[in-house]
Amino acid sequence: MQNYYKTIGALAAASTLVVGNAKAEVEYELHTGYSSEYLFRGVKLGNQLIEAGADVKGKAAGLDLNAGVWYGSVDGSANLKQEVTGGNANETDLYAGAAKDLGFLTASLGYIYRQYDLGTSWNNEHGMSEDSQELAFGVSRDFGCVTASLTYYWSIANSGNDKFNTYGNVMPPAVGNNNDGYTELALSHSWVLSPCINLNVGTNLGYLVEKGQATAWTSKVSLDWGFVEHAKLSPFMEVSVPMSDDNDTVYLGSTNQFVAGAMLSVNF
């Protein structure tokens, strides 16, 4: 929990840096949404995901800065192996990052802190607090017809105990911490269909470098409908196909997943 408060302080400091720069163009966003499943890196973590979050981004010292918080609540009894039976599982993410346009590509560095509340019966058996932390190293480039990115997520800490970690597919700590790192190659593009509607298409492939195994291939299609100024509704569909079924990864027993949902966002 001490790390939690330290991270909040770091995010507040990052936000202050952005806001305090007189020349910075600061943007804020509030968003909430619903998904039929919580799909994390191709792993189904539960059904009926309800989420909400807030983001701030801006420019300072030649860097693109961002920080935010995300909260999600999901039916934890419906994960891949049906192991959580204590009702809803809750997750809170805190994150911050910086990116630099180098001309031929954009390089980025990010930090993610995830804290979990996995339900009463689960907590009674396994402890009240599980969390994870990652650093994200990324490069991206807009080729016009498509934007490509490559990101490596490196696990740097996990307060969960070994017994928790053996349940490798219940919540993201095991996905991020038991494989020593996760790499994702992504391609995306957007089309302007009308002054208030954009079509977005993206696909990504996950890979465990340390294990030499692909994880899952996930594709997503969404529409951004700007129904009023500074607000948009974004229905989406997402499909994930497992690329690994090895017993030494969390993808053992994973199956094709189809997710549908919508996100409401307000910018100011």
Q: Which positions of the chain have pLDDT values less than 50?
A: 1-8, 10, 18-19, 21-23, 80-82, 84-85, 120-129, 159-179
Domain extent for 132:
2-194
Is there a domain that residue 207 lies in? Answer: no
Q: What digits encode the pLDDT tens for the residues 143-160?
A: 999 999 999 999 885 544
Give me the pLDDT at residue 161, please: 41
Is there a domain that residue 211 lies in? Answer: no
Give me the pLDDT at residue 123, please: 46
3-state SS, residue 173: helix
Q: What digits encode the pLDDT tens for the residues 213-247?
A: 899 999 999 999 999 999 999 999 999 999 987 77
pTM of the model: 0.81
Is there a domain that residue 50 lies in? Answer: yes
Residues with Cβ within 8 Å of residue 116, at least 6 apart in sequence: 89, 90, 91, 92, 129, 130, 131, 171, 172, 173
3-state SS, residue 78: helix
Is there a domain that residue 107 lies in? Answer: yes
Is there a domain that residue 81 lies in? Answer: yes
Query: What's the number of CA atoms in the CB half-sphere (13 Å) around residue 42?
Result: 30
Q: Count up the domains in the chain and report the number.
A: 1
Give me the pLDDT at residue 156, please: 83
Residues with Cβ within 8 Å of residue 11, at least 6 apart in sequence: 67, 68, 69, 94, 95, 96
Give me the pLDDT at residue 177, please: 44
3-state SS, residue 190: strand
Is there a domain that residue 32 lies in? Answer: yes
Give me the pLDDT at residue 181, please: 84
